[in-house]
Structure 1
Amino acid sequence: MLKCTPLLIGLSLSACAVQEKLTLGVEDPCTSLQNIVADYNSGFSSYRGKASTFQSITVFRAKEQIISGHCEIWEWANEDSAYMCSSTAPNEDVAKAMYDKSIDSVARCIGNTWTQEAEAERIRDGEAAGVATRFSAQEAGKPGIAVHRVDYRRDNSVYIYIGPTSRRDHF
């Protein structure tokens, strides 16, 4: 029998079906999230695993996975880097639940030195593509954090982004 256990990043769902594929990759997700944020200025070098190189981007498997098997570090040609976790949902209702839980978990883990911005619509190719909630640090030199719920062309997924604020809306 599968036991539903609340997980960081919105993986606590009313139905257990999705949890068969999604598991927590760390023992203490808040500490992991805080440590990943702290490693931002080094381009997440402490968390880089095996690399796959493409024309203008290198994608590293994250050594520490908040969501087991679903986190990567992207490094663009200009050396900007972002830590991202993604999860596909079977439908919009599950994606909404994951998104809401993710926002609550991130806000709780990063604390009150960050500002949670109002939810904003995502636009892709001129079409509505879901929503995003962004977090901004009050301290200079910190990354931006965003939680995205993608609802675009029958794709229902949730992304957690930690990286340059200039890129947090462009994936």
Structure 2
Amino acid sequence: MSTGVLVSGCASQPSSHKDEAVTDKRVIDQGKVCQDLGQIFTKSQDGFSDIRKQPSFYNKITIWQTDYQPLEGGCEIWQWSNRYSYVCSRVLPDEQTATHAFDEASRVISQCLPKSWSQQQVALPDEKGEKIQYSINGQVRGSLEKVSTGGLFSKAWTVYLLISSLENTQ
């Protein structure tokens, strides 16, 4: 697993004659990543029902495993009450590494975001990180965040991707 990239298959590589096969594979991977990310946004409409597997039940939450892993960082589907969220997180050792991962993920997601969705940069309080919100029909349904999660002896930062379903009222 790469230490600086949240989105897999999207690292930039210089092109040369020796790298043509690698570059072609990267382009194919980019297309696959975009297809998978687009599907995650689309699948949020039905609570990710067809990609949820192997539930683990806890007091107030169920965590579903999923084979749908276009992003690095251990993605899962969380269910509480009648709401589902596709969640990926990645703890990184410092702000510079987290910024690189956040910027790369943001770049790829903005290229892959379905046309019916919009994105907006949002300020976090006390300059503790960055956040981009994703909306459909004016309703915020997801975000990409880079936040300081370090403490007294740690300078760690975490990059999160969260895509939520509508509240299911059935």
Judge same fold: TM > 0.5, yes or no. yes
Q: Please state which structure has a larger fraction of its residues in helix.
A: 2
After superposition, residues 1-171 of structure 1 pair within 5 angstroms as: 8=7, 12=11, 28-68=32-72, 70-76=74-80, 78-121=81-124, 129-138=128-137, 144-153=141-150, 154-164=155-165
In structure 2, what is the equivalent of residue 24 of structure 1?
Answer: none
Question: Kindly, what percent of the aligned residue pairs are identical?
Answer: 25
Code of the residue aligned with 2:93 in structure 1: it is P
Deviation at 1:93, TM superposition (A): 0.2
Q: Distance in 2 between matches of 1:81 and 1:7?
A: 22
Q: Distance in 1 between matches of 2:8 and 2:161?
A: 8
Q: Distance in 1 between matches of 2:133 and 2:93?
A: 24
Deviation at 1:13, TM superposition (A): 8.4
CA separation of 1:69/1:95 partners in 2, compared to 1, >3 Å: closer, same or farther?
A: closer
Runs of 5+ consecutive residues of structure 2 not aligned to the other structure = 14-28
Q: Distance in 1 between matches of 2:50 and 2:78?
A: 14
Q: Distance in 2 between matches of 1:101 and 1:108?
A: 11
Normalising by structure 2, report the TM-score. Answer: 0.71
Do the aligned residues in 1 keep the contact of 2:64 with 2:77 (CA within 8 Å)?
A: yes
Do the aligned residues in 2 keep the contact of 1:74 with 1:83 (CA within 8 Å)?
A: yes
Q: Distance in 1 between matches of 2:83 and 2:96?
A: 34
Code of the residue aligned with 2:94 in structure 1: it is N
Q: Distance in 2 between matches of 1:115 and 1:63?
A: 26
* Aligned alpha-carbon RMSD (Å): 3.4
Higher relative contact order (CA 8 A, sep 6+): 2
Q: Distance in 1 between matches of 2:9 and 2:102?
A: 6
CA separation of 1:58/1:91 partners in 2, compared to 1, >3 Å: closer, same or farther?
A: same
List 4+ stretches of structure 1 deviating above 4 A.
Answer: none
Q: Distance in 2 between matches of 1:120 and 1:150?
A: 11
Code of the residue aligned with 1:107 in structure 2: it is S
Q: Distance in 2 between matches of 1:128 and 1:165?
A: 30
User: How many residue pairs align between the two structures?
Assistant: 146
Q: Matched residue of 2:103: which SS?
A: helix
Q: Distance in 2 between matches of 1:92 and 1:10?
A: 22
CA separation of 1:161/1:10 partners in 2, compared to 1, >3 Å: closer, same or farther?
A: farther
In structure 2, what is the equivalent of residue 22 of structure 1?
Answer: none
CA separation of 1:61/1:69 partners in 2, compared to 1, >3 Å: closer, same or farther?
A: farther
